Amino acid sequence: MKIWERYLHSELIKVFLMFLTSFYFLFVLFDYSTHLRELSSGIDSTYVAEYYLCHLSKYMPALVPLALLIATIKVLCSLNQHRELTALQAGGISTKKIARPFLLSAVACVGLLYANYQFWMPNAMRQIHCFEETYFSKERRFDPMLYRVPLEDGSKLFYQRFFQSEMALFDVLWMQSPSELWRIKSLTLLPSGPEGYFVDHIKRENGAFKLIESHKHLPLPQIRLETLSSTQLFTPFDSRSLKDLHGLLHSQIPFHILKRNAIHTQWLYKWVLPLIALTLVLAILPRCLRFKRDLPIFSTYVFGLFGFIVFYAVMGAAVIIGESISPYYVILIPAFAPLLFFGGRMLWR
């Protein structure tokens, strides 16, 4: 690696880490002040540190491309202002060669985001959910949503809340058959089988439902929560790894068949979202590599940040739409169209 390449790499890494650390520190400061009462009520500081460290993995898909974008603009504008860019070009170094360290950094960030989705983010999201369910009281407020899980025996399970820290479903209704219902206040998922607390057994008799029996505690081994373990079944799809999502695409479990579009959407989304790092660098390089006496630095930052926000807004909308229709078009077209456009423009410069 030549001296000028090492210089560009070192400058880019320094600015990238500075902005990444600054964004993360501001988030921690704001979030800690929001939950100051809960976090200062005797919680071990080690748990709090792990909780915020997990947030770094959670927000890495947004923080890494943003920090790379700002670092790229900062380094290239600085080179332009100090005439270092002109000196490199006068020395016979082409624009494409100058762009190479930035493109390699973008590819490295893409690989880092893929590694995060596969190895770090699933565990981080699980720890975040457990911490918030245990210590943040607002997480236990009323949830108007009702979730449905079709079981292998043809029955249906409805529940309102699931707390992973307790491995329990709350406000459960198990429809064993059209004429037989079980109303359960909480259903604990144990390795030996589900156990219900405050269970009401209701049957249809003479055209009307009647309460047959009530139990404070009742083992319910007849509720078969699929062939997957309970933890995996109730883990949200956006908190799963790429490998897990790919496996769910071929699963024949009724619940996964029902949610096939949602699984496919999340799988495609996690494959294409890291490419935003490369797309942003390709989009901003031609603007920053042009020599001008009065380089429009402010408008360059505005252009980059606006593109970043628009891309994430479009991809967020694509995820919502993709869960209702075929996700291939709504996920792949918004992701690859700008990448191919800006990549082709850079290639033919």
In this structure, the answer to whether residues 273 and 213 fall within a common structural domain is no
Residue 93 falls within a domain, yes or no?
Answer: yes
Q: Report pLDDT digits (tens) over 51-109.
A: 999 999 999 999 999 999 999 999 998 888 878 887 887 788 888 888 899 999 999 99
Residue 212 falls within a domain, yes or no?
Answer: yes
CA torsion, ordered 328, 333, 339, 341, to nearest 10 deg: 150
Single out the residue in 225, 253, 282 at which a domain terminates. Answer: 225
Q: Cβ-count burial of 40 within 10 angstroms (0-12 exposed, 13-18 middle, 19+ buried)?
A: exposed
Single out the residue in 178, 195, 225 at which a domain terminates. Answer: 225
In this structure, the answer to whether residues 132 and 36 fall within a common structural domain is yes
Report DSSP state, residue 142.
-
In this structure, the answer to whether residues 276 and 187 fall within a common structural domain is no
Residue 162 falls within a domain, yes or no?
Answer: yes
In order, the DSSP letters of 235-282 are: S-GGGS-HHHHHHHHT---HHHHHTHHHHHHHHHHHHHGGGHHHHHHH
In this structure, the answer to whether residues 182 and 218 fall within a common structural domain is yes
In this structure, the answer to whether residues 181 and 283 fall within a common structural domain is no
Which domain, by its residues, includes 61?
3-137+263-347
Instruction: State how far the alpha carbon of 268 is from the alpha carbons of 122, 148, 219, 329, in Å.
Output: 16, 24, 40, 11
* CB environment 52-63: b (16+ within 10 A), e (fewer): bebbbbbebbeb
Residue 233 falls within a domain, yes or no?
Answer: no
In this structure, the answer to whether residues 130 and 162 fall within a common structural domain is no
In this structure, the answer to whether residues 30 and 54 fall within a common structural domain is yes
Cα 261 to Cα 249: distance, rounded to the nearest angstrom: 9
Cα 147 to Cα 149: distance, rounded to the nearest angstrom: 7
In this structure, the answer to whether residues 96 and 58 fall within a common structural domain is yes
Looking at residue 40, its pLDDT comes to: 78
Neighbours of 263 (CB within 10 A): 23
CB 73 within 8 A of CB 326: no
Residue 244 falls within a domain, yes or no?
Answer: no
Looking at residue 226, its pLDDT comes to: 54
Is pLDDT above 60 for 16?
yes
Q: Report pLDDT digits (tens) over 205-264.
A: 888 889 999 999 999 988 876 544 444 677 888 889 999 999 988 888 777 888 889 999
Q: 157's torsion region: left (phi>0), alpha (psi -120 to 50) or beta?
A: beta
Residue 102 falls within a domain, yes or no?
Answer: yes
Cα 268 to Cα 172: distance, rounded to the nearest angstrom: 32
Lowest-confidence region among 46-50, 180-184, 294-298 = 294-298
In order, the DSSP letters of 83-140 are: THHHHHHHTT--HHHHHHHHHHHHHHHHHHHHHIIIIIHHHHHHHHHHHHHHH-GGGG
Single out the residue in 173, 196, 225 at which a domain terminates. Answer: 225
Q: Report pLDDT digits (tens) over 130-162.
A: 888 888 765 445 556 788 888 878 888 999 888
Confidence (pTM) = 0.82
Residue 190 falls within a domain, yes or no?
Answer: yes
Q: Report pLDDT digits (tens) over 248-304.
A: 888 887 778 888 899 999 999 999 999 999 999 999 998 888 766 677 888 999 999
Band of the pLDDT at 306, cuts 50, 70, 90? very high
Q: Mean pLDDT across the stretch 159-169?
A: 83
Residue 121 falls within a domain, yes or no?
Answer: yes
In this structure, the answer to whether residues 131 and 56 fall within a common structural domain is yes
In this structure, the answer to whether residues 118 and 203 fall within a common structural domain is no
Cα 72 to Cα 284: distance, rounded to the nearest angstrom: 8
Of 265 and 41, the structure prediction assigns the larger pLDDT to 265
How many domains are contained in the chain?
Answer: 2
In this structure, the answer to whether residues 128 and 272 fall within a common structural domain is yes
CB 216 within 8 A of CB 196: no
CB 200 within 8 A of CB 188: no
In this structure, the answer to whether residues 187 and 110 fall within a common structural domain is no
